[in-house]
Chains A and B, each alone.
Chain A
Amino acid sequence: MLVQALIKPNTYFDSVSLMSLSTKANQIEEVEQAIIAMGTEMNKEVMKNVGLLTPEVEVAGASDLIIVVKAATDELCETAFGKINDLFTKKNSGKKGTNDIKYSTISSAAGSNPEANLAIIAVNGAYAAREAKKALENDLHVMMFSDNVSIEDEIELKRFAHEKGLFMMGPDCGTAIIGNTALCFANAVRKGTIGIVGASGTGSQEVSVRIHEFGFGISQLIGTGGRDLKEEVGGIMMLDGIQALEDDEETKVIVVISKPPAPSVEEKVLAKMETCKKPVVVWFVGGNEEKITAAGAHFAKMSKEAALKAVLLAGADESKLNKRALNIPLIEEVRTKLTPEQKYVRGLFSGGTLADEAMHAAMEKFDNVYSNIQRNPEYRLKDRYTSQEHTFIDFGDDEYTQGKPHPMIDPSTRLERFVQEAKDPSVGAIVMDFVIGYGAHEDPVGAFLPAIIEAKQQAEQEGRHLEIIGYVLGTELDPQDYQEQIDKLLAAGVTHASSMQNAGLLAREFVVKGE
């Protein structure tokens, strides 16, 4: 018989655990006898009395845990120690998964899980403010996906959060990346040094994937919700977000994304940028360059440009970047295929800012651009079911969702509209986004593929070319297969654009006549 000992210095287990470990250790097959005890003088005396004292045990201290095994051979001792060690580790990780316990209120969940730090609120807007308040009261940051929350509630929540030093992202905030974790609708991008604060979800997604494509990464992506830069709300979350990124050591460059803010808010945000110690790139979709430059920030007119400026400020070598310039020969080629009647672009979007960006690209060349998100009421779509000349539709807008899930999840409404537009002989190009990433449809291109193929065939039979531009917003790290989405588009004869910016520009250029 051999006696071997293992000493775990300064190791404490409660008595109940020790007893149960000891009992289990003695049940191990190889073990003739096992003792687990603290290495006090008295216990060593006991071991001496029963002939189990080894030199290691002799020098052990009162705070050391000693494990003594008696077994037939060296090997058996070793095996036994291995199994005993397993018992110890099992004891440590033997916690019940927190998911086993069901909670019904934020307070009870937060009370029992003090390590929780963020609440995602995605319930009917009528109840969302209440839940958000509970979350803030429990010291949780909030990301509120819900919309249809009153502006009064939004202001109250944001002020309350600001006082407590908490984030109140939203209402109507669909995109954030915190601690390299995508929340709700966001893409899997590399961790890096560029921080984003965005009032626009898909705009933020777009810039984040472009930055990723340029080989850089995101430190944090903070959403503010679409109304944050309105007069009433006053940009509370935007200002806190910029401040947070300025304070964050990981962040070297800040990108700010929004529709043009209300004038009073713009002033505050620009003032903030003026004092900000870190370079700020601003993409206000359709915004004004001078003021931004005057505030010392870097102006970007479009999404890719914003990403490009950010990575250059973050230290990218411009000569080594693939900027993916527009494919001019392709533009020439498509123009020749279109008949003179095929004059109009129809943009069908699941992402609001993506629609906005494409629309603004078109507005630079054409006057007759209609949309459900046009700021100028004259160019609002008169009937949401009927397109007028150049038309860009954000299907995420309430009037199109009508209680259905967001078009990034449920493609049906947009799909019907696509079939309708494809039949219109005045249409020169249809441009669409396909958003992948967390939260999004598992195969958005696949959902459109049969309709696209059929539409193309039908147009061909009618003797016209149907130009479809598809843009897949995503990265190769996303849960869906990014490359497969692109391959499906290409296989169906769709023109694949490498960015939203390019998609918007291509669509516009394809239908320009007589240049």
Chain B
Amino acid sequence: MINAISGDSDFIKEINNSKFTGFVHSTFNRTFNIKCFENGDLFTIACRKLDNGPNTLIVNADNMKSQKIEVNDPVRVEKNLLFIGEKLTISIDKVDLWESVLPPYPSNEEILKRNVIKMKEYLNVHGVGGGMKKSVLTKNPFEAEVSNMLEKRTILLLNELLNHRISTALPHAVSLVGLGPGLTPSGDDFLTGLFTIFNMKNSPFYPYRSFCEDVLKKARTLTNDISYMTLKKAANGKVRDSIIALLNSILVEDDQDLILSLNKLLNIGSSSGTDIAYGIVFGMEATIRAGGKVC
């Protein structure tokens, strides 16, 4: 039996209600996902090096390989214990509850403006290419084409958002879903970042956050289950801890803190962290430029 260290309070609630059943949907070195029968959602069990996130339980293990968990292993809850087949039992006795809480959009944008510029500069140097950031050296036409399409479509999206046309922005956002290599395609990661900004209270886009839901409705068949789940949560303002940490750093004047948070985000996936960060920068720039003028 291993102990869960921390986890999304909603997930813990499900376990406490003892109504959780499902099966293993997919397995990775440091995480595996469970598909829940009751609501069809994906839940993630992650080892302790990873950050908290929506529907995620962090357990006291260094990796998941040794558990030999396989896709389709049955999952059930009994007496507050989560059973993964006969292979693994997870106790939530000592779990710390975690909740995704986004900071509100600041009333004074000065610090924000400066930090967004710093972030962009940093991303230009340290970001991982292949997605939102063009990979300069690639000879792979697929990669090159992905980057081109991402660039074109995000420019179109930005244009609509800046011109206050939320409804016509929708098809451009949808055209990003599922675009790009990686488990979570770059376009999805970008949207996760963007959705996060939409969901910050007092953000000029906050009143229009149903935009995220509208994108989501079209996204179901356009991307894979795992990436869809992340988008679904982000559309409701629920994102992983490293994104929240970065937002908090963007709002204060502390360069070292900002770079530290940004670095943690960039470590996610291959280019995923970079793509999310671009989504955040993009969203922040759009809000700053749109100001209170969005309608």
Contact = CB atoms under 8 A, between A and B. Distances in A.
Contacts of A47: 142
Contacts of A10: 26, 71
Contact of B145 (A15, A49, A62): A49
B207 interface: no
A35 B142 contact: yes
Contacts of B222: 40-42, 62
Nearest to A114: B2
Given A13-B28, A19-B181, A19-B182, A52 B68 contact: no
B81 to A, nearest CB: 13
A33 interface: yes
Size range of the chain A interface in the assembly:
35 or more
A42 B179 contact: yes
A66 to B, nearest CB: 11
A499 to B, nearest CB: 40
Given A41-B222, A50-B141, A50-B142, A15 B270 contact: yes
Contact of B181 (A33, A36, A52): A36
A50 B130 CA distance: 16
Contacts of A15: 181-184, 269-272
B270 A16 contact: yes
Nearest to B131: A15
Nearest to B29: A14
A14 B141 contact: no
A37 interface: yes
B176 interface: yes
Interface string A211-255: 000000000000000000000000000000000000000000000
Contacts of B61: 114
A112 B270 CA distance: 27
A98 B66 contact: yes
A42 B177 contact: yes
A180 interface: no
B237 interface: no
B189 to A, nearest CB: 9
B146 A38 contact: no
Interface string A34-66: 011110111101110110100000000011000
Given A12-B26, A15-B270, A113-B66, A43 B185 contact: yes
Contacts of B130: 19
Contact of A18 (B26, B71, B177, B181): B181
A18 B270 contact: yes
Contacts of B28: 12-14
A50 B148 CA distance: 12
A10 to B, nearest CB: 8
A35 B182 CA distance: 11
A40 B270 contact: no
Interface string B171-203: 000011111111111010000000000000000
A47 B222 CA distance: 15
A275 to B, nearest CB: 29
B226 interface: yes
Interface string B250-278: 00000000000000000001111000000
B62 interface: yes
A52 B223 CA distance: 20
Contacts of B60: 111
B72 to A, nearest CB: 10
A17 B247 CA distance: 28
A144 to B, nearest CB: 23
Nearest to B182: A15
Contacts of B167: none
A175 interface: no
A396 B14 CA distance: 58
A18 B146 contact: no
A188 to B, nearest CB: 26
A421 interface: no
Interface in A458-487: none
Contact of A33 (B87, B140, B224, B227): B140
The listed residue with most A CB atoms (<10 A of its CB), out of B60, B68, B183, is B183
Nearest to B26: A12
Contacts of A112: 62, 66
Most buried by A among B87, B140, B182: B182
Contacts of A40: 177-179, 185, 222-224
Nearest to A19: B270
A42 B142 contact: no
Interface in A3-24: 10, 12-19, 22
B180 A43 contact: yes
A111 B177 CA distance: 41
A26 interface: yes
A163 to B, nearest CB: 16
B23 to A, nearest CB: 12
A40 B149 CA distance: 14
Given A12-B224, A62-B223, A42 B182 contact: no
A43 B183 contact: no
A42 B181 contact: no
A22 B135 CA distance: 14
Interface in B46-67: 60-62, 65-67
Contacts of A38: 178, 181-183, 185, 223-224, 227
A114 B271 CA distance: 32
A95 interface: yes
Contact of A46 (B29, B68, B142, B223): B142
The 5 A-B residue pairs with the shortest CB-CB distance, nearest first, are A40-B178, A42-B179, A15-B269, A15-B182, A12-B26
Interface of A: 10, 12-19, 22, 26, 33, 35-38, 40-43, 45-47, 49-50, 52, 62-63, 95, 98, 111-115, 139
11 contacts: A12-B26, A12-B224, A12-B226, A33-B140, A38-B223, A40-B224, A42-B179, A47-B142, A112-B62, A114-B67, A115-B66
Given A111-B60, A112-B66, 10 more contacts: A13-B183, A33-B141, A38-B223, A40-B185, A42-B179, A43-B180, A49-B145, A62-B178, A113-B66, A114-B1
